[in-house]
Amino acid sequence: MRHDHIISAKQLSRADIEAVLDRAAEVAADPESFADRHENALLGLCFFEPSTRTKMSFTAAIKRLGGDVVDMGTVESSSVKKGESLADTVRVVEGYADALVLRHPSEGSAQMASEFVDVPLINAGDGAGQHPTQTLLDLYTIRESAGFDDLTIGIMGDLKYGRTVHSLAHALTNFDADQHFISPESLKLPRSVRYDLHEEGASIREHTELDPVLPELDVLYVTRIQAERFPDESEYRAIAGEYQIDTETLDAARDDLTVMHPLPRVDEIAHEIDDTDYAHYFQQAHNGVPVRMALLDLVLGGDE
C-alpha cells in the first residue's frame, strides 16, 4: 500500500481492508510498539471544510507514530482566500510533507488533487462523494462489535448526500452483508450508487420506515440529515427531524444490536441511548486513532 493515494472505498479490496483492520488491532493492543515508528514524518492537513473527529484523529495518529503535522489552517487564513487553486495548494503543501490529507466540499476534488502530487494523498471527504478512512474505522467497529459473518445492517438517514454512507455501502460489498437502506424518498441513495452496488453484486433493499426491518438488524448505522448539503433550505426543513430513534424505538431491536453514527449528531439519536449497550458511536469515533495510525503506517511504508 506504500505511496498509494486513498481516494475512494471502491479502490479497497477485501485484502486491503483486512490489512488495515488487522494492523489497527495490533495498534490498539500495543500502541507503544508503534511509537516513533515514523519519527520525523510530516502529515500535511488541507481542510477546506470544518472537521473535529477526522482532523484531530489524523493529528493524534501521526503524533502517536512519532511524526507531526503541517496544517494549512482555515480557508480564510490561507492563500485560498486570495484565489489560489486547489491544484496549486496541494502542490505547495506536498513540498512540506510526506503525505497529505484533504477535505474539500467538491465531489471529485480528491481525485483531481491526487493527479498533481507524488506523495500519498488521503481523501478525508469530498463533498457528497467518498470518505474512505471513515469507512475503515466503521468497518473496524463493526468487526469488533458484530463481526462480518452473515451481517445484516441498516443504514438510515441522509443516503443521498451522505459520503460516509456511499463509502461504507461500497466497502461492505467485500463481505457477506445484507444492506437495508432507510430514508425518506427525497434522500434515497443516488441512482449511480445503487447501480454500482448492483454491479458489485450487493444484496440491498430500500425502505422508508425502520420498524419493519429493525428486528433483523445486527447493526443500525444512523446518519445526520445534512443541512449544508441541501441546495434548497425549504427542502431540508421539510424532512429535518423525520428520522429519529430513542429507547422506545429500539424496543423491537435485538438485545445485541450495535447502533453507530459517524457524528456529529443533531437530534437523530436521543441522548438516552448513550448509556445503553446499543451505543457504539463514541467508541466508533475513538477507533479513528488506531485505524488512521494503521493506515498511515501502511501508506508510509511501515513494513519496510
Binding-site residues for carbamoyl phosphate sit at 53-54, 103, 131, 134, 263-264
Residue 173 annotated among the catalytic residues of the structure? no
Among candidate residues 103, 104, 166, 180, the one labeled active-site is 103
| Amino acid occupying residue 188 | K
Encode 124-162: b = buried (16+ Cβ within 10 Å), e = exposed: bbbbbbbbbbbbbbbbbbbbbbbebeebbbbbbbbbbbb
Instruction: Give dist(CA 229, CA 165) in Å, integer.
Output: 14
Torsion (CA) 288, 290, 296, 299 in degrees, nearest 10: -110
CB 181 within 8 A of CB 159: yes
Residue numbers in the known binding site for L-aspartate are 82, 163, 224
Q: Is 82 a catalytic residue?
A: yes
Grid coordinates representing 262?
459517524
Is the peptide bond prior to 212 cis by the omega test (within 30 degrees of 0)?
A: no
What residues form the annotated binding site? 53-54, 82, 103, 131, 134, 163, 224, 263-264
**Of 131, 143, 160, 170, catalytic:** 131
54 tagged catalytic = yes
Residue of 10, 37, 53, 229 with catalytic role? 53
Is 133 among the residues known to form the active site? no
Q: How far apart are CA 179 and CA 23, in angstroms?
A: 26
- Out of 38, 54, 133, 173, the active site residue is 54
Query: Is 208 an annotated catalytic residue?
Result: no
Helix intervals (H) in 179-243:
191-199, 233-239
Residues annotated as catalytic (active site), given as ranges? 53-54, 82, 103, 131
